[in-house]
């Protein structure tokens, strides 16, 4: 969140610097020319960044659930919903957490996510497709994974990042439309026409960097969300194995989710990093390496399965040793 606010400050004060240099030779109020001295843009955008970050933190969980079209399960109406409620209650006891609120996302592709601020204000949402393909043990593995995110407070960070990504995308789109209509085309026009040499080149370079920063803002914030996510998925898998004492159940669930035919359409790009698997089915998420580790929201399912199978083998070996 500090990085987000600092990025907004750069956008604002960078614009102030460009405007100041482009009007530096003007005498204030002489011949109706304006000389930019007070950094209004920087002050305003820094305040906006702080307000947006605070708003994103406070309303992030509601925005995530609203964006997916999820409905809360307050009174289970069928066997699948009753089993889901029972499993969440069991796994919450195993994890030592208060029972989170339970939601169902109207999508036939199997997936799940958790959101909230802390264990006392947490939500678990599963798709309709997940309830259709998973048996009780597999559902326990998936819910255990999501409760691992809640126990580690991953949901606080990832939900806030999801809201910030959406806010930056909206602001960037607005700036892009303004630039497209020429509303900002005169930002450096006052008195700079006769300037030659290094000053004009510096202004041009700063302007180009500033505009590129605006255009790349959604990508930068998305990369920020991705960069903190991959290791947390491995940890949540391990905590699911700890809660259920059955890592192979999550293996089976991941294999079924991976084998599903289509991406999850109800979950959009801004909240993809919250899911147990990448809902967009991007190829980069199936690879390891420097680029994938920085640009893919999730580690490869094959690697996650291999680690979980290793845990299952170690558990069987330990239990066998105890039996002997």
Domain architecture of the chain: domains with CATH: 2-64+157-216 (no CATH), 67-155+229-323 (3.30.2010.10)
Residue 112 pairs with which residues in a beta bridge? Answer: 126
Q: Which residue has the tokens 């370079």?
A: 205
Cβ proximity of 296 and 269 under 8 Å: no
Residues with a catalytic annotation lie at 146
Q: What CA–CA distance (Å, rounded) separates 311 from 297? A: 23
Q: Return the pLDDT at 31.
A: 47
Residues 314, 315, 321, 324, CA torsion sign: negative
CB atoms near residue 291 (< 10 Å): 10
Residue 114 pairs with which residues in a beta bridge? Answer: 124
Q: Which residue has the tokens 């439309």?
A: 177
Q: Return the pLDDT at 85.
A: 96
Q: Return the pLDDT at 26.
A: 52
CB atoms near residue 2 (< 10 Å): 8
Q: What CA–CA distance (Å, rounded) separates 77 from 74? A: 9
Per-residue pLDDT tens over the stretch 215-255: 676 666 666 656 556 678 889 999 999 999 999 999 999 99
Per-residue pLDDT tens over the stretch 45-77: 888 888 877 887 888 888 888 888 899 998 888
Half-sphere exposure of 30 (CA within 13 A, CB side): 8
Q: Which residues of the chain have pLDDT under 70?
A: 24-36, 165-200, 203, 214-215, 217-230, 261-263, 268-270, 281-297, 314-324
Q: Return the pLDDT at 202.
A: 72
Q: Return the pLDDT at 239.
A: 94
In the chain, the DSSP E strands lie at 71-72, 101-105, 112-118, 121-127
Q: Specify the 3-state DSSP secondary structure of 290.
A: helix
Cβ proximity of 260 and 321 under 8 Å: no
């Amino acid at each position: 969140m500090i990085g987000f606010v600092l990025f907004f400050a750069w956008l604002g004060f960078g614009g102030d610097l460009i405007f100041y240099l482009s009007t530096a030779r003007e005498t204030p109020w002489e011949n109706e020319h304006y000389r930019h001295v007070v950094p209004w843009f920087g002050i305003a955008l820094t305040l906006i960044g702080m307000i947006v970050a605070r708003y994103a933190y406070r309303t992030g969980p509601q925005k995530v659930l609203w964006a997916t079209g999820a409905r809360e399960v307050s009174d289970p109406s069928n066997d699948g919903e009753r089993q889901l409620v029972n499993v969440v209650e069991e796994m919450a006891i195993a994890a030592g957490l208060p029972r989170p609120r339970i939601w169902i996302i109207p999508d036939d592709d199997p997936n799940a996510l958790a959101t909230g601020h802390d264990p006392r204000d947490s939500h678990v949402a599963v798709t309709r497709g997940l309830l259709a393909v998973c048996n009780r043990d597999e559902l326990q593995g998936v819910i255990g994974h999501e409760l691992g995110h809640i126990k580690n407070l991953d949901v606080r960070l990832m939900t806030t990042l999801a809201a910030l990504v959406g806010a930056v995308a909206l602001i960037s789109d607005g700036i892009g439309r303004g630039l497209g209509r020429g509303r900002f085309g005169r930002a450096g026009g006052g008195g700079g026409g006769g300037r030659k040499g290094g000053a004009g080149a510096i202004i041009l370079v700063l302007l180009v960097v500033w505009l590129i920063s605006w255009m790349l803002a959604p990508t930068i914030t998305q990369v920020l969300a991705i960069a903190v996510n991959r290791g947390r998925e491995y940890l949540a898998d391990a905590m699911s194995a700890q809660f259920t004492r059955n890592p192979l159940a999550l293996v089976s669930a991941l294999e079924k989710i991976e084998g599903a035919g289509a991406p999850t359409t109800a979950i959009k790009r801004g909240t993809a990093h919250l899911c147990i698997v990448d809902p967009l089915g991007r190829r980069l998420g199936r690879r390891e390496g420097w680029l994938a580790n920085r640009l893919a929201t999730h580690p490869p399912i094959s690697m996650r399965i291999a680690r979980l199978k290793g845990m299952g083998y170690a558990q069987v070996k330990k239990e066998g040793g105890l039996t002997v």
